[in-house]
Structure 1
Amino acid sequence: MSLAARLAAAGLGLPDYGRRDLGAVLSGALASVGAADAVAGRDAKADQARLGVGNYRHVVVVLLDGLGKLQFAPWQGHTPFLRSISRKALTSGYPSTTASSLALLGTGRPAGQTGMLGYTVRNPRTGGLANLVSWHGAYDAHEWQPYPSLLEAGAAAGIHVTAIGKQRFAGSGLTLAALRGGTFVGAEGIDARVEAALRAAKRPGVTYLYWAEIDKAGHHHGWGSDAWLAELEEAERGLRRLAQSLPRGTAMVATADHGMVNVAGAPRWDVATDRVLGAGVAMVAGEPRALHVHLSDAGEADAVAARWSEHLGEAAVVATRDEARAAGLFGAMDPHVDERVGDLVVAMAGRATVVDSRTQSPASLELLGVHGSLTPEELQVPLFVAEGGA
């Protein structure tokens, strides 16, 4: 059975690469402000049409970390403004995780080209784990991810480009890899970030605004919790104010990088203590919902894949690197990225996880909400579009 068929049988789906994926957002925004020619590797005008946005002098793109389309849907009574501007869903890429998704949004290219293959990835130069959020263990961001970002391309084309986030993200490895270019504005609170976006929107151009709070609440309290719902309501308030305060001739486009599943009480295996999973495994990278399994002997990949598949049963789809490449799991793959991919790639189904307590922190093992795989809950992300009118 093909990998695509096995994924479908497990309730998993492939990303809509090159069409209605996260890569369409900044690409379409640049086309909207007249800079379609700055976009390489995508059809920016087609992306603009996919977003359903017209031509504007300024577009503010908001990334709501952790708000999946299927998490938003049950709570629309709490978010009447967002409900009123909601459009057809987009998809994340694989894995459905922040580092990979920010690179897809930022460059328009999938993880198979950017090399942003998960929360952690094996660094082929050192043999150790590289954390692509903290950037610990990774090498120079421009070498790790060599493609220019869309913000960088827009700025080079003469577009006024602004990126807004917490000050600590300025110049970080993840920022430089995924969203380099333009002017970075540090703003700590939600209201400060909205104010910064409104100031930037006074000039023609594109603004990117990162919104972290929903994801943090989901990880620590679970999506649907009181803490998570409070952050969703804060997003409703902040985005309503942003959209309604934007001047005429501008627009706000908001989306998310991934969804989330709650894993309390769900099946969990630990490679560190499970003899079946641990045999022949040199390193586990990625995250508990989307694993890269590096083997002591790559020639045993088929045999180990069969053993993992039998042991995990319906809780996972296990593929070799070759199968993942052939199925386009990571999108088009550049040769230099190949060695960062595990000998086995494991996408978890349902709410199950596989952890490795040898390398994961105790705090990460206690997270209630996680993501990374290809369930609709993780893969589908919302799209909100509103015109300015102040």
Structure 2
Amino acid sequence: MEEVLPPRYDGEGLAAVLPAVARSLGVPGGAGAPTGMDLPEARRAVVVLVDGLGYDLLRQRSGHAPFLRGLLPAAYRLTAGFPSTTATSMATFGTGLPPGAHGLVGYEVLVPGEDRLLNELSWEDGPDPLRWQPSETVFERAQAAGVDVTRIGPGFFDGSGLTNAAVRGGSFRAATSLDDRVDAALAAVRASRRALVYLYWGELDKVGHVHGCQSWEWGDELEAIDGAMARLAASVPPDTAVLVTADHGMVDAPHALRIDLGHDAELAAGIRHVGGEARSLQLYCEPGAAADVVQTWRARLSERAWVLERDEAVAQGWFGPVAEHVLPRIGDVVVPMRDNFAIVDSRTARPQLLALLGLHGSLTPEEVSVPLLRVPARDNA
């Protein structure tokens, strides 16, 4: 396994996908990432984000996905942002900005001035999402330019904190099954001569978390996705591009290799809040304790994790350029894991989270690499 795959926030990153799609639809450029992607012009586009469909996993398990496998030779191998987790990646995808700019810098992060963590996925008791992430999304920009924007996902996404922070703009259509979402996408793209349709599917990530990304259950779910994507590509109007991407990959992290901070007083010392997630911790330390925490964690974990102070992680460019108001949301100590190691905290984590096998969030290629698979409009005739 390679050591580390630094995230990119240019034409080789997830941040460039929606700006490139918008440009292909004739939408003027905004404040998003520069993009070297040359997507053919189209009048309409459907962008599908499959949660957890890492590039390396797709190649490894491509026997389950003959349609998507056929698109791999011309695919872009992109990097998701850091951490490689859904909340962060959704904002990177939706705004075209790096995490240090859009501010969704992890699964659980400190709310500055409130001495508490915010779960940016559930957004429970969270701040106003438009104040937490005020930058314009690509969907908002496309809608303002006259493109009919439709977002499709589960009903509880509509108006949620993460949705409003990361992928707001246009209209929302709720649909439950993958086939229903494909039908909704087809209806939306057929209803307008200039359309951008976004379809989200999260079951692959859920299966990977519970059963592992090497499981037969993961392969079965990939087969279902492959069939649905083949039907979508075959059914859209001939001036419509279809693109498939993802927010992160995944690794299986055996429970026997994990450390539990609830049973490790030495590692837990000096830490006020344990943020981030098991593959990519963000440690918020007691006043004056950060240097000791770094020393202890490096002494114990140098072969299992990268242990960096906040300023070091920022200097490495992991979050991209970091705005001043975003900086205190990042942990005093940032700890992405090597290989398939993980650190959990049974004092605060729900048992269901502790039981998960497939995890993500770190900087390994398996977690950071995501595909951009393309069916250009001219090939849909």
State the TM-score, normalizing by the size of structure 1: 0.93
Name structure 2 gaps, 5 residues minimum: none
Q: Secondary structure at the match of 1:164?
A: strand
User: What is the 5 A alignment of 1:190-339?
Assistant: 190-202=178-190, 203=192, 204-297=194-287, 299-339=288-328
Q: Secondary structure at the match of 2:20?
A: helix
Q: Secondary structure at the match of 1:294?
A: strand
1:179 is displaced (CA, Å) by 0.3
1:35 equivalent in structure 2: 27
Measured at CA, do residues 127 and 207 of structure 1 come closer, stay the same or move farther in structure 2, by a change above 3 Å?
same
Counterparts of 1:83 and 1:41 in 2: how far apart (Å)? 30
Give the paired residue count: 375
8 Å Cα contact 2:9/2:33 also seen in 1: no
1:285 is displaced (CA, Å) by 0.4
Q: Secondary structure at the match of 1:284?
A: strand
Counterparts of 1:288 and 1:195 in 2: how far apart (Å)? 37
Counterparts of 1:63 and 1:217 in 2: how far apart (Å)? 16
Q: Secondary structure at the match of 2:262?
A: coil
Counterparts of 1:329 and 1:256 in 2: how far apart (Å)? 19
Q: 2:52 aligns with which of 66, 72, 87?
A: 66
User: What is the 5 A alignment of 1:142-153?
Assistant: 142-153=130-141
Q: 1:134 aligns with which of 103, 122, 126?
A: 122
2:89 equivalent in structure 1: 101
Q: Secondary structure at the match of 1:244?
A: helix
Q: Which amino acid aligns with 2:151?
A: A
CA RMSD between the two structures: 1.4
Percent of aligned pairs sharing the same letter? 45
State the TM-score, normalizing by the size of structure 2: 0.95
1:301 is displaced (CA, Å) by 2.1
Q: 2:10 aligns with which of 6, 15, 18?
A: 18
Q: Which amino acid aligns with 1:149?
A: T
Counterparts of 1:30 and 1:305 in 2: how far apart (Å)? 43
Q: 2:69 aligns with which of 79, 83, 107?
A: 83
Q: Which amino acid aligns with 2:47?
A: V
1:300 is displaced (CA, Å) by 3.2
Counterparts of 2:151 and 2:301 in 1: how far apart (Å)? 42
Of 150-159 and 212-221, the range deviating more from structure 2:
150-159
Q: Which amino acid aligns with 1:12?
A: V
Deviations 1:224-276 (A, max 9, x none): 21211111001100000000111111110111100001012452112222122
8 Å Cα contact 2:253/2:358 also seen in 1: yes
1:131 is displaced (CA, Å) by 0.8
8 Å Cα contact 1:94/1:373 also seen in 2: yes
Name structure 1 gaps, 5 residues minimum: 1-8
1:116 equivalent in structure 2: 104
1:157 equivalent in structure 2: 145
Q: Secondary structure at the match of 1:184?
A: strand
Moved over 6 A (4+): none
Counterparts of 2:186 and 2:178 in 1: how far apart (Å)? 12
Measured at CA, do residues 272 and 137 of structure 1 come closer, stay the same or move farther in structure 2, by a change above 3 Å?
farther
Q: Secondary structure at the match of 2:326?
A: helix
2:41 equivalent in structure 1: 55
8 Å Cα contact 1:283/1:293 also seen in 2: yes
